[in-house]
């Protein structure tokens, strides 16, 4: 059963629970998050659930006046109106260097015995990605549940998918009745986003996965032997939104159930941490040793667009991989063959059809017919016989699979000039096109995705964000088979079991899965140590031996684009040194942000705490300096590293700075 009152989100000292009250202007009930001091519970109550229920019942109908009464209670800490968060929508293990008999995979047992809690749109339980064949019994420590609901029953959970819960009371209170929409009022996935992220993090091995002939091969998650627990917190409402109360309840239950890692491919507008449900829930998870991975957001490429920037969250940006989808274009009887980008979802072979170079009035006429801007396609090439087109463009990398609803091919300008010359100099120019090509080893890769949000964080700019880059462009993973994915022609949509999707929603579960592998290998590592291992071993060099570039600018990116670099799982298994962070250090950081005692209690769930120091220099694996038109500034960074390697080692500190910077010294003790 779905729980209205979250039990134990901030387990040690206080809890959150949603209530409804009336707005004076409209009379419409509204949901609030109410933060109560758990330690203030009267002795007469046997449980906090009874106390909260009694408190609400004693206030009868919750009008605004009654809400004011709550504010007067000595045990009341804070009340916030409901807010809504948003989504950010098999080859990657190979790209990341994961191997069956070498490195992190075998060292971790492929994530065996670990449980990943995924907060998302639900899950499609029949998918082969969630098959439990060969899995041992569920760990006895697991306390989760499999909830029933619309088209979802207890039999769908198994040794792979250990739990499935659904949380919609906050959404239904504010916006709609889920049962009246197309979404399922149950853990079943409607939009496919949750199935995609879950299978990316920990999908079982599935032979023969493909997207209409593209990316054929074996689909497998980052931690294929780990278990998955789905916490559905996003529901259809014109767009996919998550109510803050539902997310808090979901995170609360995930902690109570006993997950080892959380993956949240969603985010709320950045607010102070004490008002951000993910930041609050993630701190509660931190105290229980649970690693939390979150999407950086899809609001790039501009600065200050990062979401989920709390320093106890691992914030993941999106990068490309070295795989592209293409079509082979052959002119005439083989006079010239070029390769262009295409993800047209049909096994179509265009054979020796006439090809024309249209320009001037004819281009304008054709553009009007197909609703194209004549200025945008001027100088490009139209293949008319197949109702398709060959475009000359240097922006092919920005096109997504769903853009290819007709047999379009994009060639680079250099090849476009060759095609143009062939057409002009041939009396009877023809073209043949073969689709369904998958190219591997393309360069340069990775690149920072154009949409990936950039740092620094508006709320906490003294911590460099994002933390790291992970694969997030054209990722093949599970999809709901009854949900039309790609348009074909003018009116139809095609169905698929596996879809190619891009977003930091895709990069987040990659990092979560790799963190699961590391946690399985190093059971004594803290969440900060795991994040540090991933960050300090990340790659800043691409497969073309250059610095990772920004897709938008085409030049080398910066740490504000990709954090410390692109994740490298096999290096992360043995980082040598880690930057560990204790709970008290996070509290000191909040003190450095000038948070009030109430704000710190709300964020951390700790009633009794003290500020050993008020500092913005957290023991983080990265460094950032904020300059406000200051000509000369001196900053001292202090870091403490922990040796996690076997035996003793000697390390030499090296500092590389931009030409405009000068470092005085770098000392170690």
Instruction: Point out which residues pair with 411 in neighbouring strands.
Output: 392
Give the CATH number for residue 110.
Answer: 3.40.50.200
Does residue 423 contact residue 412 with C-beta atoms inside 8 Å? no
The residue assigned the tokens 């689909």 is 219
In a domain, 192, yes or no: yes
Alpha-carbon distance 145 to 163, whole Å? Answer: 5
Asked whether residue 317 falls in the same domain as residue 328, the answer is no
Tokens of 275: 């008002």
Alpha-carbon distance 637 to 624, whole Å? Answer: 10
Sign of the Cα torsion 275, 302, 311, 319 reads: positive
> What is 428-483 written as a DSSP string?
S-EEEEEEEEEEES-SS--EE-TTS--S--SS-TTS-S--EEEE-SSEEEE--TTS
As for how many domains the chain has, the answer is 3
Give the CATH number for residue 413.
Answer: 3.50.30.30
Asked whether residue 430 falls in the same domain as residue 387, the answer is yes
379/182: higher pLDDT: 182
pLDDT at position 359, please? 56
440/172: higher pLDDT: 440
Angle between helices 583-592 and 597-604 (to 10 degrees): 140
Q: What percent of the chain has pLDDT over 90?
A: 65
Ranking 114-128, 256-270, 354-368, 404-418 by mean pLDDT, the lowest is: 354-368
Alpha-carbon distance 507 to 470, whole Å? Answer: 5
In a domain, 622, yes or no: no
Say how many C-beta atoms besides its own lie within 10 A of residue 666's C-beta. 10
Asked whether residue 136 falls in the same domain as residue 253, the answer is yes
The three-class DSSP label of residue 328 is strand
Asked whether residue 60 falls in the same domain as residue 119, the answer is no
- The answer to whether residue 63 is catalytic is no
The three-class DSSP label of residue 230 is strand
What's the pLDDT band for 646 if we cut at 50, 70, 90?
confident
Asked whether residue 227 falls in the same domain as residue 363, the answer is no
Does residue 199 contact residue 221 with C-beta atoms inside 8 Å? yes
Question: One of 120, 185, 189, 246 is an active-site residue; which one?
Answer: 120
Alpha-carbon distance 345 to 444, whole Å? Answer: 26
In a domain, 463, yes or no: yes
Q: Compute and round to an integer the Cα radius of gyration of the chain.
A: 27
pLDDT at position 253, please? 97
List phi, psi (to 5°) of 605: 75, 20
- The answer to whether residue 193 is catalytic is yes
Q: Which of 553, 578, 603 is the last residue of a domain?
A: 578
Question: One of 263, 293, 505, 507 is an active-site residue; which one?
Answer: 505
DSSP run (H or E) holding 280: helix 277-287
> What is 558-600 written as a DSSP string?
-HHHHTT-B--HHHHT--SEE----HHHHHHHHHHTT--HHHH
List phi, psi (to 5°) of 60: 50, -130
What's the pLDDT band for 358 if we cut at 50, 70, 90?
low
In a domain, 222, yes or no: yes
Contacts of 385 (CB under 8 A, 6+ apart): 353, 354, 355
Q: Which of 403, 437, 471 is the last residue of a domain?
A: 437
pLDDT at position 547, please? 97
Cβ-count burial 306-334 (b if 16+ within 10 Å, e if not): bbbbbbbbbbbbbbbbbbbbbbbbbbeee
DSSP run (H or E) holding 214: strand 214-219
In a domain, 660, yes or no: no
In a domain, 425, yes or no: yes
Alpha-carbon distance 29 to 175, whole Å? Answer: 10
**Chain segment 309-356, per-residue pLDDT in tens:** 999 999 999 999 999 999 999 999 898 999 999 999 999 888 888 887
Sign of the Cα torsion 435, 438, 441, 446 reads: positive
> What is 380-439 written as a DSSP string?
-BB-TTTT-EEEE-S-GGG--GGG-SSSEEEE-HHHHHHHHHHHHH-SS-EEEEEEEEEE
pLDDT at position 85, please? 63
Question: One of 108, 127, 129, 193 is an active-site residue; which one?
Answer: 193
Say how many C-beta atoms besides its own lie within 10 A of residue 650's C-beta. 4
**Chain segment 508-541, per-residue pLDDT in tens:** 999 999 999 999 999 999 999 999 999 999 999 9
Asked whether residue 156 falls in the same domain as residue 287, the answer is yes
Say how many C-beta atoms besides its own lie within 10 A of residue 659's C-beta. 5
- The answer to whether residue 663 is catalytic is no
Question: What domain range is 32 assigned to?
Answer: 14-81
Asked whether residue 371 falls in the same domain as residue 451, the answer is no
Give yes or no for residue 365 having a pLDDT over 50.
Answer: no
Asked whether residue 314 falls in the same domain as residue 200, the answer is yes
Does residue 469 contact residue 562 with C-beta atoms inside 8 Å? yes
Contacts of 43 (CB under 8 A, 6+ apart): none
In a domain, 1, yes or no: no
Asked whether residue 477 falls in the same domain as residue 334, the answer is no
Which one, of 347, 348, 326, lies nearest residue 337 by Cα? 326
What's the pLDDT band for 83 if we cut at 50, 70, 90?
low
- Length of the chain (residues): 669
Which one-letter DSSP state was computed for residue 491? T
> What is 106-162 written as a DSSP string?
HHHGGGTT-EEEEEES-B-TTSGGG--TTPPPPPTT----B--BTTB-GGG--SSEE
Asked whether residue 302 falls in the same domain as residue 337, the answer is no
**Chain segment 380-404, per-residue pLDDT in tens:** 445 444 557 888 888 999 999 999 9
Q: Which of 38, 62, 81 is the last residue of a domain?
A: 81
In a domain, 623, yes or no: no
Asked whether residue 132 falls in the same domain as residue 143, the answer is yes
Up-side HSE of residue 85: CA atoms within 13 Å toward CB? Answer: 33
Alpha-carbon distance 367 to 361, whole Å? Answer: 10
597/633: higher pLDDT: 597
What is the tally of helices (H) and strands (E) in the chain? 17, 30
DSSP run (H or E) holding 299: none
Q: What mean pLDDT do residues 447-457 have? A: 97
* Cis amide leading into 229 (omega within 30): no
Alpha-carbon distance 277 to 194, whole Å? Answer: 19
Asked whether residue 310 falls in the same domain as residue 333, the answer is no
């Amino acid at each position: 059963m779905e729980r209205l009152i979250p039990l134990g989100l901030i387990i040690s000292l206080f809890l959150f629970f949603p209530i409804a009250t009336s707005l004076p202007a409209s009379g419409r009930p509204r949901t609030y998050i109410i933060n109560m001091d758990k330690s203030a519970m009267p002795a007469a109550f046997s449980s906090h659930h009874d106390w909260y229920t009694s408190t609400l019942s004693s206030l009868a109908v919750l009008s605004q006046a009654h809400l004011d009464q709550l504010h007067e209670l000595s045990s009341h800490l804070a009340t916030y109106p409901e807010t809504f968060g948003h989504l950010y929508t098999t080859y990657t293990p190979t790209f990341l260097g994961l191997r069956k008999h070498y490195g992190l995979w075998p060292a971790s047992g492929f994530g065996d015995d670990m449980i990943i809690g995924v907060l998302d749109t639900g899950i499609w339980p029949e998918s082969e990605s969630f098959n439990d064949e060969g899995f041992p019994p569920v760990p006895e420590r697991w306390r989760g549940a499999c909830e029933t609901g619309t088209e979802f029953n207890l039999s769908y959970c198994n040794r792979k998918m250990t739990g499935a819960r659904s949380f919609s009371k906050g959404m239904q209170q504010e916006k709609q009745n889920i049962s009246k929409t197309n979404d399922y009022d149950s853990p079943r996935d409607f939009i496919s986003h949750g199935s995609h992220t879950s299978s990316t993090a920990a999908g079982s091995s599935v032979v023969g996965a493909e997207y209409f002939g593209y990316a054929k091969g074996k689909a497998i998650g980052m931690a294929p032997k780990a278990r998955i627990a789905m916490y559905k917190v996003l529901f259809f409402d014109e767009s996919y939104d998550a109510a803050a109360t539902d997310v808090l309840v979901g995170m609360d239950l995930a902690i109570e159930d006993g997950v080892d890692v959380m993956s949240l491919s969603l985010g709320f507008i950045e607010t102070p941490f004490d008002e951000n449900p993910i930041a609050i829930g993630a701190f509660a998870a931190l105290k229980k040793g649970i690693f939390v991975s979150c999407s950086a957001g899809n609001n790039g490429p501009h600065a200050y667009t990062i979401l989920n920037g709390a320093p106890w969250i691992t914030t993941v940006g999106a990068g490309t991989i070295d795989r592209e989808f293409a079509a082979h274009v052959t002119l005439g009887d083989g006079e010239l063959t070029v390769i262009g980008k295409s993800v047209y979802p049909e096994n179509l072979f265009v054979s020796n059809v006439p090809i024309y170079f249209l320009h001037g009035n004819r281009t304008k006429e054709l553009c009007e017919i197909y609703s194209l801007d004549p200025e945008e396609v001027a100088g490009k090439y139209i293949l008319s016989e197949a109702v398709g087109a060959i475009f000359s463009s240097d922006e092919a990398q920005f096109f997504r699979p769903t853009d290819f609803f007709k047999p379009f091919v994009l060639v680079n300008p250099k090849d476009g000039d060759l095609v143009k010359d062939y057409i002009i100099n041939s009396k009877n120019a023809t073209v043949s096109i073969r689709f369904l090509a998958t190219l591997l080893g393309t360069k340069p890769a990775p690149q920072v995705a154009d949409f990936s949000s950039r740092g620094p964080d508006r709320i906490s700019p003294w911590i460099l964000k994002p933390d790291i880059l992970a694969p997030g462009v054209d990722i093949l993973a599970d999809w709901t088979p009854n949900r039309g994915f790609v348009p074909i022609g003018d009116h139809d949509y095609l169905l698929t079991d596996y879809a190619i999707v891009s977003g930091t929603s895709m990069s987040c579960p990659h990092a979560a899965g790799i963190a699961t592998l590391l946690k399985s290998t190093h059971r004594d590592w803290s969440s900060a140590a795991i994040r540090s291992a991933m960050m300090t071993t990340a790659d800043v060099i691409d497969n073309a031996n250059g610095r990772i570039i920004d897709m938008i600018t085409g030049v080398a990116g910066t740490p504000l684009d990709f954090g410390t670099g692109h994740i490298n799982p096999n290096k992360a298994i043995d980082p040598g040194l880690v930057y560990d962070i204790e709970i008290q250090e996070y509290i000191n950081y909040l003190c450095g942000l000038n948070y009030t005692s109430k704000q710190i209690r709300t964020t951390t769930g700790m009633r009794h705490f003290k500020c050993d120091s008020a500092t913005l220099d957290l023991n983080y694996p990265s460094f950032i300096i904020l300059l406000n038109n200051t000509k000369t500034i001196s900053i001292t960074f202090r870091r403490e590293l922990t040796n996690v390697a076997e035996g003793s080692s000697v390390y030499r500190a090296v500092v590389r700075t931009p030409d405009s910077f000068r470092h005085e010294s770098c000392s170690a003790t």
